[in-house]
Structure 1
Amino acid sequence: MRLWSLHPSILDRAALVACWREGLLAQKVLAGGTRGYTRHPQLTRLRAHPDPESAIGAYLRGLQEEATARGYRFDASRILRPIPASDLDPIPVTAGQLAYELEHLRRKVAARAPEWLPQLPPGEDAGGGAIPTHPLLTVVPGDVEEWEVRTA
């Protein structure tokens, strides 16, 4: 399960579609609709929110809005609580986590859709300014999140 912290606009097609599917699974887990994936580390930050079910709804809404802007048809009726991210307390994400995810996405895009690479920001390390985040998230200082399962 990968619930990207990055803004949906920089996700390539495969990442956006996979994130939607996995976000729907996360919604089902948080609503108590499945016994699988209940201890998945990506759910840690959603569970820490005062209203986890609304938080995943706002997260999914951000994905669905980006998909619509690209002409994709993500079924918004599948979002149980389609609350605007601006109506909720933001979820913190560390700058280190964002940098890690951007490099992770960059490796994936280089292999499967190299034509998308110019859409990716250079990142803070390359002097490119802030890395755009999902509208539900707010950046805080720090290293890669403890819940992240790092890959080589």
Structure 2
Amino acid sequence: MRLWSLHPALLDRAGLVACWREALLAQAVLAGRTRGYTRHPQLARFRAHPEPEVAIAAYLHAVADEPKTRGYRFDTTRIEATASERIGTTPRIPVTDGQLALEWRHLLAKLEVRSPERWTQSVQAGRPLPHPLLVVVPGDVEEWERAT
């Protein structure tokens, strides 16, 4: 499971679809509807949020906004409606600049192989933008990160 700290606009189509599916799985885990993935480290920042289900709904809505700019869409009815109603007031989640840099390098390596055109655009952009739910703070890679 990879719940990117990067802005969804930086992801290629495969990455965006995977992020959507994995965030939907995270939503189910946080709502207690699954038996698997309950201890997945990527969920730590959502569990630390005062309203984890609202935070994952906000995350999903931002991911769902990106395909609209590309001419396709995700089924937003799969996002918990009760959580969606409270998104406007949810606090943003901090992410360290070290985590963002690690994910940026990870994404660039993936794009170089599977989407060279997007890789070129990303390299020219220079630096990564965070997901709209996140706010960047100084620091090293997050403790929950398991990437090598």
Helix, strand or coil at the partner of 1:2:
coil
In the aligned structure 1, how far is the partner of 2:112 from the partner of 2:131? 22
Q: 2:23 matched to 1:19?
A: no
In the aligned structure 1, how far is the partner of 2:85 from the partner of 2:139? 28
In the aligned structure 2, how far is the partner of 1:85 from the partner of 1:146? 26
Match of 1:62 in 2: 62
In the aligned structure 2, how far is the partner of 1:74 from the partner of 1:62? 11
Helix, strand or coil at the partner of 1:138:
strand
Give unmatched runs, 5+ long, in structure 2. Answer: none
Match of 1:140 in 2: 137
Superposed CA offset, 1:58-87 (max 9, x none): 000000011122112200100003358653
Q: TM-score, normalised by structure 1?
A: 0.90
Match of 2:126 in 1: 122
**1:61–1:84 contact (8 Å) kept in structure 2:** no
Helix, strand or coil at the partner of 1:61:
helix
Report the more deviating stretch, 51-60 or 113-122.
Answer: 113-122
Q: TM-score, normalised by structure 2?
A: 0.92
Superposed CA offset, 1:23-73 (max 9, x none): 000000000000100000000000000000000000000000111221122
Change (3 A) 1:87 1:69: farther
**1:59–1:85 contact (8 Å) kept in structure 2:** no
Superposed CA offset, 1:95-146 (max 9, x none): 00000000000000001111111332322xxxxxxx3111100000001111
Q: Which runs of 4+ in 1 moved over 4 A?
A: 83-86
Q: Which has the higher helix share?
A: 2
